[in-house]
Amino acid sequence: MQNGRVFGPGDTIRISVGIRHTMHIDSVTVVFAHERREGVELQLFGGPAPFEEGGRTYTVSEVWRSEAEVVATVPANTTPGRYALSQVLLETYGGRVYRYGPEELGAAAGDLGFEVVEEPLERPVIEGLGYT
């Protein structure tokens, strides 16, 4: 994980997940685990949107492609350190959950990771005051 992504409390993390499927996907969760603290995770959530092809409506059993943008805001109490991709979960409208570990996701999974840093200690500077 050498992609240089660094986030702090209040920053928004956004990741795109491309999916090929034959059923309706209800939700997508991407889980990142702290590399040194077992049980410490950050989860990004989203829902997929099918790639539109001329207004076509897809039905179950057809193969179609979707993209999900999963998002999370780094909470104030997040443990600083490096986070690596742990798993991707897809939940169908029928309630099935499919789990994919980094080894199933190919080379791209190795590049997905980031560092969380503490909130800076510098005091904010007031640059102006006035009526609006």
> What is residue 49's predicted lDDT score, i.e. its pLDDT?
87
Q: How many domains does the chain have?
A: 1
The arithmetic mean of pLDDT across residues 114-128, rounded, is 96
The arithmetic mean of pLDDT across residues 37-47, rounded, is 96
In a domain, 80, yes or no: yes
Query: Which pTM does this prediction carry?
Result: 0.86
In a domain, 112, yes or no: yes
* Residue 65: domain span: 6-116
The arithmetic mean of pLDDT across residues 57-66, rounded, is 76
Read off the pLDDT band of 1 (50, 70, 90).
very low
In a domain, 124, yes or no: no
> What is residue 93's predicted lDDT score, i.e. its pLDDT?
93
In a domain, 99, yes or no: yes
- The sign of the CA dihedral 101, 63, 44, 14 is positive
Identify the helix (H) or strand (E) that includes residue 21: strand 12-21
In a domain, 79, yes or no: yes
Per the DSSP assignment, residues forming a β-bridge with 14 are: 71
Per the DSSP assignment, residues forming a β-bridge with 90 are: 28, 98
Burial of 126: CB neighbours in 10 Å, binned 0-12, 13-18, 19+: exposed
In a domain, 1, yes or no: no
As given in the structure block, the two tokens for residue 61 are: 């059993």
**Is 104 in contact with 86 (CB distance < 8 Å)?**
no
Read off the pLDDT band of 83 (50, 70, 90).
very high
Read off the pLDDT band of 106 (50, 70, 90).
confident
Instruction: Name the one residue in this structure whose structure tokens are 């742990």.
Output: 86
**Is 93 in contact with 47 (CB distance < 8 Å)?**
no
Among 58, 52, 56, CA closest to 24? 58
**Is 47 in contact with 26 (CB distance < 8 Å)?**
yes
In a domain, 40, yes or no: yes
**Is 9 in contact with 120 (CB distance < 8 Å)?**
no
In a domain, 131, yes or no: no
Q: What is the CATH number of the domain that holds 88?
A: 2.60.40
